[in-house]
Amino acid sequence: MLPYSPWLAWFVPIIGCLLVPILAKINGKLRDWFSFLFVAISSVFTFSMLPDVFNGYLADVQVQWIPYFNLSVGVLVDPLSVFMASLVSFIGALILLYSIGYMAHEEGLTRYYFFMLLFIGGMIGLIMADNFVQLYIFWEIVGLCSYALIGFWYKKPEAVRAGMKAFIVTRVGDVCLLLGILILYFNTGQFAFSSIQNSAGFLSMSLLTTVMLLLFGGAIGKSAQVPLFVWLPDAMEGPTTVSALIHAATMVKAGVYLVARTATIFPSLSSDYLLVVAGVGAVTAFMAATMALATFDIKRVLAYSTISQIGYMMFALGLGTSGGWFASQFHLMSHALFKALLFLCAGAVIHITGTRDMRQMGGLRRYMPITYATFIIGALSLSAVPPFNGFWSKDLILEECFRLGGYTGYLLFFAGTLTAIITIAYAIRAVALTFLGHESTVLKDKKLREAPSVMTIPLIILASACVISGFLQPSFANLMSQMFPKIADLSIMNIEALPLSISLLALVVGGLPAYMVYVKRSVSPEALTRGSLSRGVYKLLVNGYYFDSFYNYVFVKGTVYISNKLRKLQTGILNVNMLAFLIGFLFLLGLLFSALQGGI
Amino acid sequence: MIPLSYYLAFTAILYIVGIYCLATKRNMIRLVLGIEILVNAANLNFIILSANWKTGFVDPFAHSIVIISTALAGCISAVALTIVVYAYRHYGTLDARKLRRLRG
Amino acid sequence: MRFDGIEAAGLTVAILAVIVSCVFIAQNSFPTPYSTPPLKSTQSVGQEVSKFMWESRSLDLIAQALVLFGAAVGCLAILRSEKDEKKVKSE
Amino acid sequence: MFTLPIDTLIVFTVTTPFVGWIERKLHRKIISGIYAAVGFALSGFMLYQLSSQALSSPMVVPIHAGVFEACLRVDALSVFAAAIFLAMGFLVTVYSLKYMERDTGLSLYYTLLLAMITGMLGVVAAGDFFTLFVFWEFMCIPSYVLVAFRKQQWEPVEAGFKYLVMSSAGSATILYGMSILYGLTGTLNFAQLSVVMTSAAANVWGYVSLAFILIGFGVKASMFPLHTWLPDAHPAAPSSISALLSGIVIKAGAYGIIRTLFMIFLPSRFSWQIALAVFAALTMTYGNFAALLQKDIKRLLAYSSIAQMGYILFAISTTTSYGLTAGLMHTMNHALMKGLLFLCAGAFIYRAGTRNLDELKGIGHKMPLTAVIFTVAALSISGVPPLNGFVSEFMIVYAGVNAGMLAFTVVMLINILLGFAYYLRLIKIIVWSTPTENVKKVKRAPTLMLLPMALMALSCIIIGLYPAPFIEMASKAAQAVI
């Protein structure tokens, strides 16, 4: 391990972000490359910790910060944090390399690189945090950066609105998280993970469940689970690199990390809590996958697929077994790789075609062979086709469901399989609409060519990682077995026949119709929405199960209504003000006297 | 001798009259008078209670307070009346209810 | 005299407040102070007050003088002559 | 006479009109402003010298003050509050040097500014309730005039009159409550009162007095039904004065509530906490909802001040040492943040000449540094870590959970979300919009205005990153009254 690497891993990007405005004064190119360099250095630090944790090195370094709250600032080095940090810094570095080409002709790049570095630094800081307050602070910083980055193109009003939406919706979750942290602190007197772990045994089960559910509320917001997923599809208004970062590495993984981390802190999880986690995860996985089927925006397809895949991770965590825990982390790694790949490919496509609507693409296979090939790899990984990494991890999740058995296990297995069927369908649909068939008329007069090499190199790196990483399961299990010893059993890639055959069957069930409809075109896609029932379903899917309209109606409109009504109270007439004075006085007297009589 | 309660009721009513004046009267100068009534209610209360201590003893403490607070009330009225002058220049009326361009 | 809404409401609340306060005062007798008297006074109140004020409340007197000063400055500030006053007035 | 910081300020207050006279003879418009700034700095230095002594044990002036003598009593809370007041006074004076240059009567303006801060220092240092009241008036009267300072426009005059009537009614109410208190105990000395009220039974009349005093201070602290003067007065005043009004003058109300409720109406004998919490919840909810759709930048900030006062009142209503520490921290942070926001708004108004948010769209692109400072302040006040607003809001929420007031805490959390929403809207309008036609010609803010703003923004970040010493101070101040 390089000296001080747990600290420097997040210090370097954050210091880098402060240097960005200064470097920008010197030279634009210098700023771009230095930003990449800072994250690359950070990833060197994070990777340097990997060998140590492999050899069983654990550390929890603390420096006193606010003695009034008995609060320290500290870093936690254990397999989970080091693994996550390495993933984030690695993907972050690739995305920054890619942005040098992708964002080259944009305005306001200083702002862009400032927040990108802060985003990555904040996420690594979140992961390395050894106490809840530090985690919460970085959690909010990540939210702030997402707000600034999603609204990067501030001249588009939708982008600014999407940024605000992301920030506000995730903050609804954050409020739960904060309350959970405080209730926990109030009952244990500690913020640090290690101390809470020691005193968690004394807490009553109902209290623990409440706290855990509140913490999970925070994860729901950040990881875009039902019912707070509405911000993620809109967040596609930001630059594609930002979406890639949000989906693959930083923002949405924070929620999964939090749930995984709490699972290591509290050894005995209540079944109610697990049921909620698993239920939310399964429902999300299914709903998001169906929504991905109905949208024509290539980035929104990927966004829904992220929500769905995060749902997989959540319900794997909700199994409550160490195997499920491991499977979720394994899937997190796979997902990070293939989702980054898919987003960057989509970015390349958007970069060239200038549109996000898949109906206006098509036939790009001929012009962008590298992008096409890598996108295919990503899509195959996403839809869990062997031997790509998505297959190994998703299969592990389903196997763990199967192994758990019982009502929940089989139900979850069923939900997972159903989702898998839909997943391959929308993956094929996306590939076919974008790359196969004929170019749409819109593209006729555009000069179509392959993206520049600074963009394709990260694609190739990520694609090869997608192929390889699935086979890393044994060593990954070895690494993680320090968190839960039982995980060591998973270091052999033993595959159970029944779940495997079911999931392979699911691939065929989902893949074949999609292939017929979108590739072979033997049935026109429009024909699917002709019946009145299927039209209704289609409308439901396009509108995202009306979650958005519901929130808009109840919360936004409701708040505005109340606000308008309350503003009427300010009549501007002095007499009325004094009348309010008298009434307020009498009200206070009433309250005080009822308190005196023991009323309250 | 009149019991203390009567005096207290009197100051309480005086206070309410002051607030009533502020809450209903339209003339700005009357509003300034309303403030004076409020302060005087408090002052009277001080005087009354200074004699409540012990029979035949009147506390000079309360009296000194009243002397000072009377002067303070005068200061407030002075400032209030200068503002009223300008309000009249801007609005052309002494009706306090016409001063309602600021609202919402 | 014609009542408008505000006056009616003001009158109602004020009468209510008067009734409440009278009932309250009638029911709760006011206690005598808890501490002991400060002076054994035999002099007339008037003399006592001025002596007391200078001896014990001198800080308040100075502060009161400051308030007077502040009010004077305040009146001056509002009544200050302003050359461009008429120009800006029409907004 | 009084303590040295107050004496210094008094000397400067009284001499500033003469300096103004010299200023007119020399035709330099800036002298009285610099003179006032020197006064604040000097007073701050005196306070620093005094602090080590006052922090360890309360300092009484005159030393052998009797029960009936007017006296000052400087303890940790006084020093804490006075330090905030002086710092804000100094920064705002420096800001005014440039901001107020187009106005007339500047020496009177600075005199009133000095007088107002002197009054506030006296309020926090008073050891006798009546002394507090006299200084309270000394604070109020200049503030009325300062609101109406630009009397050539209708708005300040209207707002100033409303402010004056409501606030004076509040003062008279305090006086009435004080008279009942005097009748009950025979003294108005804080130290003595706290002794007497501990031994005496909680009388019904005590509650009456409490109600009067709470309402009286509540007018200044903009408690819900009494807040109506604030959204008029704060926007109407010149922005520098709005910064002081929102930053510290309403905090004097909170100070009065803390001082009286914790030293006289002890929470162990008088159960006022639920009543205060109800009022706090109403205040924050109303403030946030009303701020949500404002079109006027300063009016929005003023409503948000009401909401923030609700948070502080809620912190006070927990009655725990944690809660009071949190409330004091938030007092300090809010003074910084809201002062900063008003100063930024002032800079925008100074350059663009309008307060309407529709016309200020995208002004951040023309005034980048001001926009960054504004964003820092707005994020800070909406509780985004690692800025200072987060620290104190976190502490208040913790204190609420700790005191077992979970329902009120949830109300506060929802309110934080609401506040967050409209501050994001504000940032969106100022920073994330395409500049409109009438802000196209705008230049960057003058350096003399940027300087205090940058200093305050920096302290926002520093307090956010390393709050330990400030929390230590606040906790010491809280210990002084509990």
Residue A483 near residue A264 (C-beta atoms within 8 A): yes
Residues of A in contact with D467 (CB under 8 A): 66
User: pLDDT band for position D201 (50/70/90)?
Assistant: low
Residues of B in contact with C39 (CB under 8 A): 60
Q: How far apart are CA A197 and CA A199, in angstroms?
A: 6
Residues of D in contact with A164 (CB under 8 A): 421, 424-425, 428
pLDDT over 50 (residue A591): yes
Closest C-alpha among A326, A210, A188, A200 to residue A272 = A210
User: pLDDT band for position A354 (50/70/90)?
Assistant: confident
pLDDT at residue C36, as a whole number? 62
Domain count of the fold of chain A: 1
CB A414: neighbour CB atoms within 10 A? 14
pLDDT over 50 (residue D102): yes
A358 vs D90, higher pLDDT: D90
Structure tokens at B14: 């005086």
Task: Write the residue in C34, C38, C85 that is nearest to D152 by C-beta.
Answer: C85
Chain C nearest CA to A567, separation (Å):
19
Q: CA angle, corner D126, sides to D122 and D129, nearest 5?
A: 125
In total, the C-beta contacts within 8 angstroms joining chain A to chain D are 157
D2 vs A76, higher pLDDT: A76
With tokens 């070895």, the residue in question is A478
Q: How far apart are CA D482 and CA D480, in angstroms?
A: 6
What's the mean pLDDT when you consider all of chain D? 89
pLDDT at residue A284, as a whole number? 92
Which CATH number, 3.65.10.10, 1.10.3720.10, 3.90.550.10, 1.10.287.3510, labels domain B4-97? 1.10.287.3510
pLDDT over 70 (residue A595): yes
- Domain with A578, as residue range(s), is 546-596
Q: Does A583 touch chain C (CB under 8 A)?
A: yes
pLDDT at residue C86, as a whole number? 45
Q: How far apart are CA D219 and CA D234, in angstroms?
A: 14
- pLDDT average, residue stretch D246-274: 89
Q: Does B8 touch chain C (CB under 8 A)?
A: yes
pLDDT at residue A518, as a whole number? 83
Residue A585 lies in a domain: yes
Q: How far apart are CA C69 and CA C77, in angstroms?
A: 12
pLDDT at residue D12, as a whole number? 92
pLDDT at residue D253, as a whole number? 92
Q: How far apart are CA C14 and CA A206, in angstroms?
A: 51
User: pLDDT band for position C44 (50/70/90)?
Assistant: low
- pLDDT average, residue stretch A318-346: 90
pLDDT tens column, A554-582: 888 999 999 999 888 888 888 888 899 99
pLDDT over 70 (residue A599): no
Q: How far apart are CA B24 and CA A577, in angstroms?
A: 10
Q: How far apart are CA A422 and CA A511, in angstroms?
A: 8
- Whether the complex's predicted ipTM is more than 0.90 is answered with yes
Chain B nearest CA to A12, separation (Å):
49
Residue A357 dihedral angles phi and psi, to the nearest 5°: -80, 120
Q: Does A512 touch chain C (CB under 8 A)?
A: no
Closest C-alpha among A134, D157, A15, D215 to residue B87 = D157
Residue D190 near residue D201 (C-beta atoms within 8 A): no
| Inter-helix orientation angle C58-79/D4-26, to 10° | 30
Residue of A nearest to C15 (CA): A582
Type of residue at D15: T
* A171 with D417: Cβ contact below 8 A: yes
Task: Write the residue in C7, C10, C53 that is nearest to B67 by C-beta.
Answer: C53
pLDDT at residue A440, as a whole number? 75
Interface test with C, best of A575, A596, A597 (most C CBs within 10 A): A575
pLDDT over 90 (residue A192): no
Percentage with pLDDT > 90 across chain D: 53
- pLDDT average, residue stretch A479-507: 81
Residue A511 near residue A428 (C-beta atoms within 8 A): yes
Q: Which residues touch A450 (CB under 8 Å, ≥6 apart)? A: A367, A368, A369, A370, A371, A456
pLDDT over 60 (residue C43): no
Neighbouring chains of C at 3+ CB pairs under 8 Å are A, B, D
User: pLDDT band for position C38 (50/70/90)?
Assistant: low
pLDDT at residue D185, as a whole number? 85
Question: Which A-chain residues 577-596 have CB contacts (< 8 A) with chain B?
Answer: 578-579, 581-582
pLDDT at residue C83, as a whole number? 62
Q: How far apart are CA A492 and CA A489, in angstroms?
A: 7
- pLDDT average, residue stretch D333-344: 93
- Residue ranges of alpha helices (H) inside chain B are 4-24, 28-50, 60-91
Residue A581 near residue D166 (C-beta atoms within 8 A): yes
Type of residue at C49: V
Percentage with pLDDT > 70 across chain C: 71
SS3 state of residue A61: strand
Residue A574 lies in a domain: yes
- pLDDT average, residue stretch D78-104: 91
With tokens 């014990």, the residue in question is C56
pLDDT over 90 (residue D373): yes
Residue D432 near residue A167 (C-beta atoms within 8 A): no
Residue A453 near residue A442 (C-beta atoms within 8 A): no
Q: How far apart are CA A137 and CA A159, in angstroms?
A: 25
Chain C nearest CA to B79, separation (Å):
6
pLDDT at residue A571, as a whole number? 86
SS3 state of residue A75: strand
pLDDT tens column, A17-70: 888 888 888 888 888 888 999 999 999 999 998 888 888 888 888 888 888 888
**CA A15 and chain centroid, separation:** 25
In total, the C-beta contacts within 8 angstroms joining chain A to chain B are 37
Angstrom distances, CA of residue D86 to CA of A502, D91, D114, D124: 74, 9, 10, 12
pLDDT tens column, D306-336: 999 999 999 999 989 989 999 999 999 999 9
- pLDDT average, residue stretch C37-44: 57
pLDDT at residue D192, as a whole number? 84
Residue A567 lies in a domain: yes
User: pLDDT band for position C89 (50/70/90)?
Assistant: very low
- Please provide the size of chain A in residues: 600
Q: What is the dihedral of CA D344, D346, D349, D350, to 10 degrees?
A: -110
Structure tokens at A568: 């009427």
pLDDT tens column, D137-172: 999 999 999 999 988 888 999 999 999 999 999 999
User: pLDDT band for position C91 (50/70/90)?
Assistant: very low
- pLDDT average, residue stretch B12-33: 91
pLDDT at residue C87, as a whole number? 45
pLDDT at residue A266, as a whole number? 83
Structure tokens at C91: 């907004």
Residues of B in contact with A583 (CB under 8 A): none
Give the burial string for B41-79 (b: 16+ CB within 10 Å, else e).
Answer: bbbbbbbbbbbbbeeebbbbbbbbbbbbbebbbebbbbb
What's the mean pLDDT when you consider all of chain A? 87
Burial-class residue A444 by CB neighbours within 10 Å (0-12, 13-18, 19+): exposed
Q: CA angle, corner D214, sides to D260 and B80, nearest 5?
A: 110
Residue B27 dihedral angles phi and psi, to the nearest 5°: -75, 130
